[in-house]
């Protein structure tokens, strides 16, 4: 997730290597470029998963040494369980399921590998403070042993 209050100092290596996207900052929706990446996770065998959205909503997979990504999830804008209004945070469980925070739809969906639609696992019933609603979610964590979902929500 993007920090709006980050006060830390970051030191970059002079000879960094680009592992996903453009090394010179070009944005696009092609297999080698990213448009608006919002979260990244390292998976098995050092594969890189990036959630990327703006006009379209997608989860890209980059294998080590390959700058060409594979689209794992490709969705349009909307409120159905196969659509997103935003893609803000990602978690991958031990079974390879993808959990994605869609803060503008106030929900977290779970996507099985190769699924064409997600399953609602938190929120999804509009904005609010009751148990079935979220109100400004910004991040989350899935506890590996219990699958409990810890949500950072206002």
Residue range 38-44: mean pLDDT, rounded: 91
In this predicted model, what pLDDT tens digit does every residue of 114-136 receive, in sequence order?
Answer: 999 999 999 999 999 999 999 99
pTM here is 0.84
Domain at 37-152, CATH homologous superfamily: TolB, C-terminal domain (2.120.10.30)
The pLDDT score that the predictor gives to residue 22 is: 77
State the Cα–Cα distance between residues 60 and 72, nearest whole angstrom. Answer: 6
Q: Which of 3-7, 51-55, 108-112 has the lowest mean pLDDT?
A: 3-7
The pLDDT score that the predictor gives to residue 135 is: 95
The pLDDT score that the predictor gives to residue 121 is: 97
Question: Could you tell me the pLDDT band of residue 6, with boundaries at 50, 70 and 90?
Answer: low
Average pLDDT of the chain? 88
Burial class (CB in 10 A: 0-12, 13-18, 19+), 153: middle
- Hey, which residues does 100 pair with through a beta bridge? 90, 109
Inter-residue long-range contacts of 128-131, CB under 8 Å, 24+ positions, other chains counted = none
């Amino acid at each position: 997730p993007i920090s709006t209050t980050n006060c830390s100092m970051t030191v970059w290596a002079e000879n960094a290597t680009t592992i996903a996207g453009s090394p010179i900052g070009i944005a696009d929706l092609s297999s080698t470029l990213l448009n608006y990446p919002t979260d990244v996770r390292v998976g098995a065998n050092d594969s890189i998963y990036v959630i990327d959205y703006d006009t379209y909503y997608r989860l890209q997979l980059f294998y080590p040494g390959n700058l060409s990504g594979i689209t794992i999830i490709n969705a349009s804008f909307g409120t159905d369980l196969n659509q997103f209004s935003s893609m803000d945070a990602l978690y991958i469980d031990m079974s390879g399921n993808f959990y994605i925070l869609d803060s503008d739809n106030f929900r977290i969906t779970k996507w099985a590998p190769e699924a064409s639609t997600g399953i609602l696992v938190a929120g999804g019933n509009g904005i609010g403070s009751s148990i079935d609603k979220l109100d400004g979610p910004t991040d989350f964590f899935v506890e590996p042993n219990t699958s409990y979902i810890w949500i950072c929500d206002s």
